[in-house]
Chains A and B, each alone.
Chain A
Amino acid sequence: MTEEQPRESVIVEKELPLGPVHPALLEPFRVRFFVNDEIVEDCEVILSMPHRGIERILEGLPVERALLITERVCGICSNSHAWNSVRVIEKGLNIEVPPRALFIRVIAQELQRIASHLIFIGHAMEVVGHETFAMRAFLLREEYMDMLYFIGGNRVHPAVPVIGGVRPRCEISDSLKRVILETLERSERKLRNYVGRVVADPLVMGRLTGVGYLSKEDAIRLHAVGPTARASGVEWDWRMEMFEYKPFTYDYVILYEGDNKARVIARALEIFECIKIVRQALKDLPEGPVVNRDWSPQRMKFTDSYNEAPRGELYHSYSLDDYGKLRHYKIRTPTITSIHSVEFAAKGDHVTDAVVTIASCDPCLACCNRVEIIDEKSGRRRQFTSMIEVIKKYGWRR
């Protein structure tokens, strides 16, 4: 719980700590539930287990090489990081991107968003305890991973965007277009059937409905982003602001229930909107080149870019020095802002339900961990987004 939240004085009987090694937590983090009997009175999520120092690694690299690293920030939304990374320099140096490349980027992004949402639904069902639905979600995801493989040549890291466009190997031919459209048609039918069955299952819905409630005001106050915020009625999606998405007609999924059910359903409904976008992009795919090589690395002032990753708002920013080397790279992933909102939402529920609530923000920990320094004397704390800040303040190897 963050410090600014109002503290209620409840007598906590005991603490039930989960993690950092626990089968319900797919990545290493620690959840401390403060419970009375089985009811969670307070909750504390402790991150910073798998800090990788990505920003430190990026410091001083040639900007073209940054892509290799940024794509590996996350294994689930790799394209979001790669795309946002190139958007920063394209914005900073005014690099023109061919329209065809923009469309291909959108296609890759939306296919990966579907795959990510299906991982979430699979994980949510696993945490709820419904193995069959979990496995079916992962099975459905395979088709989208295959489509990413057809486009980018790799399932997990398709490496579609490059500065100024997309990689030439990611060109979408007519035959590939046909394959993708046919696969979309088939998988959409299966998805509708699957989502219908999940929603119609009284036991699953009984576990999700009315649990982990997060009001719109709390979602805004606690900086929830992406589908987690939209499931609480926050009408915001970065795609509304992105010029790449202007040619497409689709709906933003906004739900007002604010519970775990809404967070699952919001992502399930978003999948169908993603399919709608991919179909339009394939249908209206412009002709022309896929990459603009007419640029060179040069000094660039500090520039930032936002993108709507599958989990929500993704922030990348950096500057370039005179030699085109990266300086002060900062990344803020959606999980680091959303996790505190579900930490708050988990209060008042049964412990087993609270784990579902924590999972309902679709946490992706390995890409969100940052270094935090606490001054023991004053009790002040500071969150660092890059190792270079730590080194500057405290010196090397201190």
Chain B
Amino acid sequence: MDLLAGVISVVVCLIGAGLAIAMGAVIPGIERKVQARIQQRIGPPILTPGFWSWLKFAYKWPIKPWATIPRFYESIIALGVVIVIFALLITLPPFWGVLGVASILGIAGLLKLEELIYVLAGSVSQSLLSVPFLRHDLAKGGTKLGFRREYFEQQAAFRALKMAAICSIPLYIALAVPFAVAKSPFIADVISIQNPAFFLGGILPLPSKPIFLTVPGFIATIVYFAGYVMLLNEKPFNIVKPKVDLIEGVFLEYAAKYRTYMYMLIHIFTFVLSSIFVTLFLGIPLDPTKPALLALHLALTLPLPVLKAVLAAFSPVLTFRQLYPASMGFTALAAFSLVLALIL
């Protein structure tokens, strides 16, 4: 019986990981389509920015990234994909029984690890676009010589560190709000106060008291969305990879199959963060054993990426001059919602 339960858990996890990959392949296309429509363009076909671009880069001639620790740089991006998928898996019901993993500590820890990957990847990468051109500059009239030249990725790693240290704080506080409402660090308890029917079985157990519809939950949702955009480095919070100066930021040197991993990381991460939101704030977990609930969950993961696309279409890139006050504002808002959640 235990063996059967174990097999079912493994199958559920595999389906969950497959769904994350499948949704990750589709969501960027939806985002691009939304942005294109706002900009009065047709936009690419839905599967092109996700699925087909993964496939395209996977089949490109393999170019070794230029990095100080090449193996580390190559493997860290694949590790990132594994981490985001694992961040999703711990929100799946089979993991709820594993003490300490299916909790706010597990989610926050994995998300923080993901942020650390940006810093590590940037720190060891040295793109061709910013290699020293000493003689070239001299020949063309450059008068200032002898300065230490910074690689784009390493400058981006500094920025990623700042983002991880300061700008992503609101997300983690907002993430704590459902757990504060449940007065428990475990995901199972967060689900049980919102959706008691889930534990009773049934085809489509809907939540009776979603945290999203409470005052602290609604405020935390707004902050979570801002943190979601910050964590995904999307406009207006994409200072880690603004095209205008650092181009692709920490991921600049990834090409061919490594670029596929990079796209997979970003695209799957978009879905995973949406899925965590639906699980924690709406009380609808990703459960492959309940197809109707699963369909509802997948449908509800779409509004956040769509809103992100709308925000990106109407936003410029913000620099740290605007990011620090914005982060402080969102932190204050998140702290307020956390206090409300503890009081109410």
Question: Bound state CA distance, A207 and B149, in angstroms?
Answer: 26
Contacts of B320 in A (CB 8 A): 38, 350
Contacts of A24 in B (CB 8 A): 243-245
- For B316, give its contact among A34, A42, A48, A207 (CB under 8 Å): A207
Task: Render A131-166 as a binary contact track against B, CB cut-off 8 A, 1 for contact.
Answer: 110011001000000000000000000000000000
CB-nearest residue of chain B to A13: B148
- For A42, give its contact among B38, B137, B144 (CB under 8 Å): B144
A351→B141 contact, CB < 8 A = no
Chain A CB within 8 A of B342 CB:
no
A residues within 8 Å of B by Cβ? 12-18, 21-24, 30, 32, 34-35, 37-38, 42, 44, 46-49, 125, 127-132, 135-136, 139, 203-204, 206-207, 350-353, 355-356, 372, 374, 381
Which candidate, B87-95, B209-217, B234-242, B274-282, is the interface stretch facing chain A? Answer: B234-242
Question: Bound state CA distance, A47 and B140, in angstroms?
Answer: 7
- Nearest-neighbour CB distance to chain A for B90, whole angstroms, equals 34
B39→A44 contact, CB < 8 A = no
Question: Bound state CA distance, A17 and B247, in angstroms?
Answer: 12
B residues within 8 Å of A by Cβ? 35, 38-41, 129-130, 132-133, 137, 140-144, 147-150, 152, 155, 158-159, 235-236, 238-239, 242-245, 247, 312-322
Q: A15-B150, A16-B245, A129-B236 are in contact. Are A350 and B319 (CB under 8 A)?
A: yes
Question: Bound state CA distance, A76 and B289, in angstroms?
Answer: 62
- Nearest-neighbour CB distance to chain A for B176, whole angstroms, equals 28
B140→A48 contact, CB < 8 A = yes
Mind listing 10 A-B residue pairs with CB under 8 Å?
Answer: A22-B129, A24-B243, A32-B142, A44-B143, A129-B243, A129-B315, A131-B312, A139-B40, A207-B319, A352-B317
- For A207, give its contact among B35, B140, B150, B318 (CB under 8 Å): B318
A129→B148 contact, CB < 8 A = no
A46→B318 contact, CB < 8 A = no
B149→A17 contact, CB < 8 A = yes
Residue in B243, B313, B315, B316 with the greatest tally of chain A CB atoms within 10 Å = B316
A17→B144 contact, CB < 8 A = no
Which 5 interchain pairs have the tightest Cβ spacing? A129-B317, A15-B147, A129-B316, A130-B316, A128-B316
A46→B141 contact, CB < 8 A = yes
Contacts of A127 in B (CB 8 A): 244
CB-nearest residue of chain B to A351: B245
B141→A381 contact, CB < 8 A = yes
B244→A352 contact, CB < 8 A = yes
Contacts of B159 in A (CB 8 A): 38
- Nearest-neighbour CB distance to chain B for A227, whole angstroms, equals 21
- For B150, give its contact among A16, A48, A353, A381 (CB under 8 Å): A16
- Nearest-neighbour CB distance to chain A for B241, whole angstroms, equals 11
Q: A14-B150, A16-B150 are in contact. Are A129 and B143 (CB under 8 A)?
A: no
- Nearest-neighbour CB distance to chain A for B38, whole angstroms, equals 6
B319→A48 contact, CB < 8 A = no
Q: A16-B150, A17-B133, A24-B245 are in contact. Are A44 and B144 (CB under 8 A)?
A: yes
Contacts of B243 in A (CB 8 A): 23-24, 129
- Nearest-neighbour CB distance to chain A for B238, whole angstroms, equals 8
B245→A18 contact, CB < 8 A = yes
Contacts of A352 in B (CB 8 A): 239, 242, 244-245, 317, 319
Question: Bound state CA distance, A67 and B325, in angstroms?
Answer: 55
Q: A14-B149, A17-B130, A23-B247 are in contact. Are A131 and B322 (CB under 8 A)?
A: no
- For A131, give its contact among B35, B150, B239, B242 (CB under 8 Å): B35
Question: Bound state CA distance, A352 and B320, in angstroms?
Answer: 10
- Nearest-neighbour CB distance to chain A for B37, whole angstroms, equals 11
- For A16, give its contact among B155, B313, B318, B321 (CB under 8 Å): B155
CB-nearest residue of chain A to B248: A23
CB-nearest residue of chain A to B322: A206
A132→B313 contact, CB < 8 A = yes
**Extra contacts besides A15-B148, A129-B235 (17): CB < 8 Å:** A14-B148, A15-B147, A18-B245, A21-B129, A23-B247, A30-B142, A37-B158, A38-B158, A131-B39, A131-B313, A132-B38, A135-B40, A136-B40, A203-B236, A203-B316, A204-B316, A355-B244
- Nearest-neighbour CB distance to chain B for A50, whole angstroms, equals 12
Contacts of B316 in A (CB 8 A): 125, 128-130, 203-204, 207
